[in-house]
Structure 1
Amino acid sequence: MSAPLTATEANTARRRGLTLIAAAVALAGLGWGGWHWMNGRHFESTDNAYVAGNVVQITPQVGGTVVAIGADDTDFVRTGQVLVKLDPADARVALEQAEAQLAQTVREVRTLYANTATLKAQVSLRQADLARVQADAARLQDDVNRRAPLTASGAVGKEEFQHATAQLAAAKSSVAAAQSAVLAAQEQLAASQTQTDGTTVEQHPGVQRAAARVREAYLAVQRAQLVAPLDGHVAKRGVQVGQRVQAGAPLMTIVPLSDLWVDANFKESQLQNLRIGQKAELVADVYGTQVTYHGTIAGLGAGTGAAFALLPAQNATGNWIKVVQRVPVRIALDPKEVAEHALRVGLSMEVKVDIRDQDGKALADTPRSAPVAATPVFDAQLQAADEDVQKIIAANLGRKLTLAGALHAPVVR
């Protein structure tokens, strides 16, 4: 057995151990300080980040009874694909009534134009009658003027002169009656022209009003089929066959997983060096470190999450405890990487942002030039309604018109 250490030797060994520990701590501190100076201080990271995307609710524009469901949870749907069908019977009846009313209105307006032409002919006829009776009155006036000097000499009998005078008075009455008839015909023509001047049969207010009702009824029939406004996956289906739904009731949700981003919630103390356009690396918990996504800061939130909460904090109360606030930062992902490794809305992410590039802005200061999202599926519905309206108008005008011809048809007189 070895001899026990003396007190001096024990103190020496202890000092040597403490020195080695202090040296290791110092080296570790220097190493961490060097790493932080060279690399760590150029990055801001957080694990409070989640995948986000557009969550499109499918809601009916008209009420009705569900007769068919064309997609279920987890299904992939294309733009324009029928998702839900409502019973269109009532809408079709309303459409037929509106189409019949439009046809009748077109024929009634055609009658207005025809009446205007008839009244113009009546005015011409009355004016011709006026001219005739005026000529007769002028002839009789000449007869009276010639007979008046001859009455004193007895060349013309008194009875003959009185007869000529009576005929002149009757002629003048006929002139007055003809003038009144002309005035009445002109007033009737003016009244008729107030309903037809400055417009055509197709553009007449009555026809346009009836056409609007046809469009409204036609759209109601079209809207009995709910279509997908964009490509995506169905989630949260809550509608059942036979269910009576009201306009605006949520039936299901579509999530376009090809258009995702990440909302990273950074502490307020980390926002100082974050700028729009800075590069970021992201790791999803679902894949781990095997897959690294690359993104770019697209924008910084206008307020903290607590400021927009359903029940915002009341920091003016006496029981106040300071809590570090977080601000959402939107990070746009590379679409190619998302296509190769699919993500889901709500998945957790770890984000590391390279803050060395300070050329960007902390807040966006230019308006968006293009819409965030758009769909063309509803444009075809209105176009089809317009074609139906023009078809009915053309059929009841008594001539065949194309859509373009109907829009630029000549005035029907």
Structure 2
Amino acid sequence: MHTKIRPREILRQRNRRMKYLTLAFVLAGLGATGYWWVFNRNHVSTDDAFVAGHLIQLKAQTEGIVVEISTENTLHVQKGQVLVSLDGAHAELALQQAEAELGEIVRNLVSMAAKVDTLEQRIVAREATLDQVRHDFERFKAAARDGAVSDQQVQNARDKIRELEAGIRESRAEKISLEAQVNGIALERHPMVEKAKSRVRAAYLDFHRRNIVAPVSGYVAKRKVQVGDYVKAGAPLLAIVPLDDLWVNANFLETQVSAIRPGQAAEIKVDAYGDARIYHGIVQGIAPGTGSTFALLPTDNATGNFIHVAERVQVRIGFNRQELSDNPLQPGLSTVTRINTGEPGEPVLLSNVNIGGDAYRTDIYSHELDGVEPHLRRIIAANKP
């Protein structure tokens, strides 16, 4: 038995389904629009954002052979901890040479001071001889008029006087020269001594720096040095990464940055954790130029080959320190970062970057010369009479 086809009924069913489908699309669109209006209307986001941090390169400060490595990649090190030790033979030899030069200069100055006294006594002796020859010369002149003394004796006495006077002038000039070098200042503060002391300090510093210490606390990465390596000053050894001071470098399109201000809140999703964990941060500052401006080869649009490409501006976003402490991250991780531009924020040129951390300054090198001054005094005392 054939079913009778009713075209009007089919048309009504189809129209009914179309209405339901249209209503579903309208409701979905309204829901998406409402969600965007409530949650995304005042937000800008980018997936061109990465975790950044301080990568502190540790380099050799003097030359030598590596005799000990006291750390390894992924290990945590404390500020001031010895990480690499060099044999220090070259530095020790240089220190010994500088000490010997200081002692030699002290002895030379003492000898020059003694020579001043010697010249003074020589001048006194020559003046006494000159007085005697002058008296003889006067007697010879008187006796020569009576024929008791020959003219040759008178001439010899005159020549002797000139010789003695020249010798006295020479000794006085030599004395003045020596006095200019040694008199008027204590031996310990003499310029030649100070110069030699500086060389001792430099050699002492090189010898002290054969033990290479961590300038900050952090985790070791990229260890290149090996035991037995001969390294020179400036050779890279390893890197230290303080994981308690990280931030996000988020690169936003130039069409997105007009409403971004320092102080606005941000949400950060790290790809390593997906949607399971959201970090919160604050915009710290906006770069003063686009990425292409600081490129190695900046684009030159004046050449005529111009293609309009949306530039990106880097925005620095600081993490919430407590969240970072509870769930540590590593520099280089990819993120999806969203900024709430609905907040008023602060002036666009203001920067809230904190430079008060250990990554910006260290005091471990402040006391490296503490023991050198007593050492210098001992060297000077040992070479003085």
TM over 0.5: yes
> What 5-or-longer segments of structure 1 have no aligned partner?
145-157, 399-413
Name the aligned partner's letter for residue 251 of structure 1.
Answer: L
Shift of 1:217: 2.7
How far, CA to CA, are the matches of 1:47 and 1:267 in structure 2?
A: 11
Contact 1:133–1:178 at 8 Å: present in 2 too?
Answer: no
Shift of 1:98: 2.3
Contact 2:272–2:333 at 8 Å: present in 1 too?
Answer: yes
Contact 1:137–1:175 at 8 Å: present in 2 too?
Answer: no
How far, CA to CA, are the matches of 1:239 and 1:52 in structure 2?
A: 25
Residue 280 of structure 1 is matched in structure 2 by 266
Name the aligned partner's letter for residue 256 of structure 1.
Answer: P
Tell me which moved more, 283-292 or 61-70.
283-292
Contact 1:126–1:185 at 8 Å: present in 2 too?
Answer: no
Shift of 1:283: 2.9
Name the aligned partner's letter for residue 103 of structure 1.
Answer: G
Shift of 1:345: 1.5
1:42 lines up with 2:29 in the alignment = no
Alignment equivalent of 1:230, drawn from 216, 234, 246: 216
Residues 168 and 74 (structure 1), Cα distance of their counterparts in 2 relative to 1, 3 Å cut: same
Matches within 5 A, 1:341-380: 341-363=327-349, 373-380=360-367
> What 5-or-longer segments of structure 2 have no aligned partner?
none
Alignment equivalent of 1:393, drawn from 370, 380, 385: 380
Name the aligned partner's letter for residue 214 of structure 2.
Answer: A
Percent identity between the aligned chains?
A: 38
SS of match in other structure, 1:80: coil
1:105 lines up with 2:105 in the alignment = yes
Shift of 1:369: 8.3
Residue 247 of structure 2 is matched in structure 1 by 261
Shift of 1:332: 1.7
Residues 115 and 324 (structure 1), Cα distance of their counterparts in 2 relative to 1, 3 Å cut: same
Residue 206 of structure 2 is matched in structure 1 by 220
Name the aligned partner's letter for residue 99 of structure 1.
Answer: E
SS of match in other structure, 1:275: coil
SS of match in other structure, 2:261: coil
1:209 lines up with 2:185 in the alignment = no
Contact 1:99–1:214 at 8 Å: present in 2 too?
Answer: yes
Tell me which moved more, 259-268 or 8-17.
8-17
How far, CA to CA, are the matches of 2:222 and 2:192 in structure 1?
A: 46
Contact 1:137–1:172 at 8 Å: present in 2 too?
Answer: no
For residues 160-215 of structure 1, the C-alpha deviation after alignment (integer angstroms, 9 at most, x for no partner) is 85659989988876665554343222211122123235543233343233333323
Contact 1:283–1:289 at 8 Å: present in 2 too?
Answer: yes
SS of match in other structure, 1:269: coil
1:240 lines up with 2:202 in the alignment = no
Contact 2:69–2:226 at 8 Å: present in 1 too?
Answer: yes
How far, CA to CA, are the matches of 2:144 and 2:209 in structure 1?
A: 89
Tell me which moved more, 167-176 or 297-306.
167-176
Shift of 1:365: 8.2
Shift of 1:13: 3.8
Tell me which moved more, 270-279 or 27-36.
27-36
How far, CA to CA, are the matches of 1:82 and 1:95 in structure 2?
A: 22
Matches within 5 A, 1:14-413: 14-123=14-123, 126=126, 136=135, 176=162, 178-197=164-183, 199-309=185-295, 323-363=309-349, 373-397=360-384
